[in-house]
Amino acid sequence: MKEKICSYIDTQRDDFLRDLKSLVDIKSVREEKKEGMPFGEGPAKALKKAEEIAAFHGFDTVNFENYAGEITYGKDPVLMLLAHLDVVDEGDFWTYEPYNMKIENGRAYGRGTTDDKGAMLCCLYAIKAARELFGEPKRGVRLVMGCGEETGSEDMDYYFSKREKLPYTLSPDADYPLINLEKGRFAPEFTGHFDNSGEKKIISFSGGTTGNIVPCKASVTVSGINIDEIKTVADEISAITKTEFSVAEENGAITVSCLGVSAHAAHPVSGNNAQTALITLINRLPLSDNGVKSAFSALERLFPHGETDGTSIGVKLQDETSGELTLNFGVLHFRDGCFRGSLDLRCPLCANEENVKNVIRNKFAEKGFSFVGEPSMIPVHFVPEDAPVIKTALKVYEEYTGLKGECLAIGGGTYVHDIEGGVAFGIEFHGTDYRIHGADEFAVIDELLLTAKMYTAIIYELCY
């Protein structure tokens, strides 16, 4: 079976690369919506091209008003393969052309070669291989091509308002071997007002801008304190926090800037939070006693620099299946006695309103802070390891790659986060940086073909 599948897919190499180039060369970045094009022209053009490719290979497509396209092969489909045709903006620093795919040393360079146009084609070629090798399936297979994954997955909201979910869903839009658990998320905003009297005080504080990033910069402006005194404290705190401080005086006020390391909130431990480092420094300055001083000191006690597991605010939680809770203190701004900030927590299965939301609410209340509005907790996405789709995918993975097949739990969300029973399978192999969302994104051509082979085998196992 494996040999049969592999040799068929290998005969498709040139066609595959031709089709991939025709998709990659279309800049399918979301733009302003137009009549009949909810994500603008680019994504709609890419879907039109995908429809042409599908037609060339003998498949009909259903177009869901340019939110998504769908190809179904066989009756009563049970397996949905989900990939997307939109891409993120190319950004800077490319040495290749982002929208003119080039092949070099077994790699295809261009935006979307891996994420996720390459992945989409793997699914299409897998369905074609199944048709050519095994004929009509007992239970059908369906490919869904979304056009809005990179900008919040509204494509799937629309698609699923028109279509039922299928028993099995696999999406090659993340990592191998397979992701069966995506942590839940709690991202509350908070605020607080405090008295700021006295001579030696904080005028303003500016930390990160988005909750889901570990802030790499922060700055504070203080008045009434001697610059040399601040520099001495800065040196001390710099050594402890491993961040860099710069101190400058202007019109009698002194601004201290801090440089840390940014990281995604799903992985806060790989960053170094400039905001919490700067708060540590502030609390070592000889400030006048007032509410703002107490508030900064409370924030340090709740979110000490270097802590990313929520211990101090009382939400350190973990379980065997999903690992530990992570907390990123991503945003803080202060001016005129008023604080506004936000957190981003990635929560394990054992987390709930009682042991996370209410605990934080109470701790905040003790210190004079409160939530802005009523923040909600996004639940964990979890599919048990003994689900047939997981057992099949991992068995195929081990057979085709020779690597160990195992389930992964992650802090981020994938394309299947809201699809019950859905799992992410591929497309990135561990150990390679495909520069997804960065400059010079590429795909390894043999790996794309391997993905197509594995998906063919999975279709055979689940549909025939």
Smaller CB distance to Zn ion: residue 296 or 434? 434
Binding of Zn ion by 51 (CB under 5 A): no
Q: Contact region for Zn ion (CB under 5 A) — 27-35, 40-48, 114-122, 312-320? A: 114-122
| Shortest spacing between CB 436 and Zn ion, in angstroms | 7
Residues 203-222 that bind Zn ion (CB under 5 A): none
Between 116 and 344, name the residue whose CB sits nearer to Zn ion. 116
Stretch that binds Zn ion, among 113-121, 157-165, 332-340, 378-386 (CB under 5 A): 113-121
* Residue located via tokens 């050519």: 132
CB of 84 to Zn ion, least distance (A): 6
CA distances from 9 to 53, 133, 451 (A): 17, 10, 10
Compute the least distance from the CB of residue 423 to Zn ion, in Å.
15
Burial of 197 (0-12, 13-18, 19+ CB in 10 A): exposed
Distance between CA atoms of residues 273 and 326, nearest Å: 14
73 vs 415, which CB is nearer to Zn ion?
415
Specify the residue, 126 or 174, whose C-beta has the smaller distance to Zn ion: 174
DSSP H helices, 208-340, are: 227-241, 274-282, 291-302
Mask for 219-248, x = binds Zn ion (CB under 5 A): ------------------------------
CB of 147 to Zn ion, least distance (A): 12
**Contact indicator for 78, 166 with CB cutoff of 8 Å:** yes
Nearer to Zn ion, 26 or 349 (CB): 26
The one segment of 86-94, 115-123, 218-226, 261-269 that binds Zn ion by CB under 5 A: 115-123
Q: Which amino acid is at 272?
A: N
Cβ at position 431, least distance to Zn ion in Å? 19
Least separation in angstroms between CB 324 and Zn ion: 26
Interface stretch with Zn ion, choices 116-124, 215-223, 286-294, 300-308 (CB under 5 A): 116-124
User: How many residues at the interface with Zn ion, by CB under 5 A?
Assistant: 3
Smallest separation, CB 115 to Zn ion (Å): 4
| Residue 103, both tokens | 């092949």
Residue pair 275/344 in contact (Cβ under 8 Å)? The answer is no
Least CB distance from residue 443 to Zn ion, whole Å?
A: 12
Residue 116 within binding range of Zn ion, rule CB under 5 A: yes
**How far is it, in rounded angstroms, from Cα 415 to Cα 145?**
11
Q: Between 51 and 115, name the residue whose CB sits nearer to Zn ion.
A: 115
**Alpha carbon distance 125, 81 (integer Å):** 12
Nearer to Zn ion, 51 or 150 (CB): 150
Q: 81: part of which helix (H) or strand (E)? A: strand 79-84
Burial 161-180 (b: 16+ CB within 10 A, else e): eebeebebbbbbbbbbbbbb
**Contact call for residues 346 and 379 (beta carbons, < 8 A):** no
- Do residues 258 and 218 make contact, with C-beta atoms less than 8 angstroms apart? yes
- Please state, in angstroms and as integers, the Cα–Cα distance from residue 258 to each residue in 141, 193, 203, 242, 320, following that order: 53, 24, 16, 10, 37
* Closest CB to Zn ion among residues 83, 302: 83
Closest to Zn ion by CB, 364 or 415: 415
Mask of contacts with Zn ion, 409-438, x by CB under 5 A? Answer: ------------------------------
We find the least distance from the C-beta atom of residue 357 to Zn ion, in angstroms, to be 30
- Residue 115 binds to Zn ion (criterion: CB under 5 A): yes
The distance of closest approach from Cβ of residue 145 to Zn ion in the complex, given in angstroms and rounded to an integer, is 12
Residue among 170, 58, 95, 242 nearest 463 (CA): 170
Residues 237-296 that bind Zn ion (CB under 5 A): none
Residue 90 vs 115, nearer CB to Zn ion? 115
Residue with tokens 């809005």: 148
- Token look-up 């201290």 returns 256
Cβ-based nearer residue to Zn ion, 115 or 182? 115
Other CB atoms within a 10 A radius of the CB of residue 402 amount to 7
Task: Compare residues 116 and 155 and give the one whose CB is closer to Zn ion.
Answer: 116
- Other CB atoms within a 10 A radius of the CB of residue 381 amount to 23
The nearest distance, CB 112 to Zn ion, in angstroms, is: 9
Q: In whole angstroms, how close is the CB of 355 to Zn ion at the nearest point?
A: 32
Overall residue count recorded for the chain in this entry: 464
Residues 124-183 that bind Zn ion (CB under 5 A): 173
Q: How many CB atoms lie within 10 A of CB 434?
A: 20
Tell me how far CA of residue 19 lies from CA of 113, 123, 386, 434, 454, in angstroms: 11, 13, 36, 20, 19
Residues that bind Zn ion (CB under 5 A): 115-116, 173
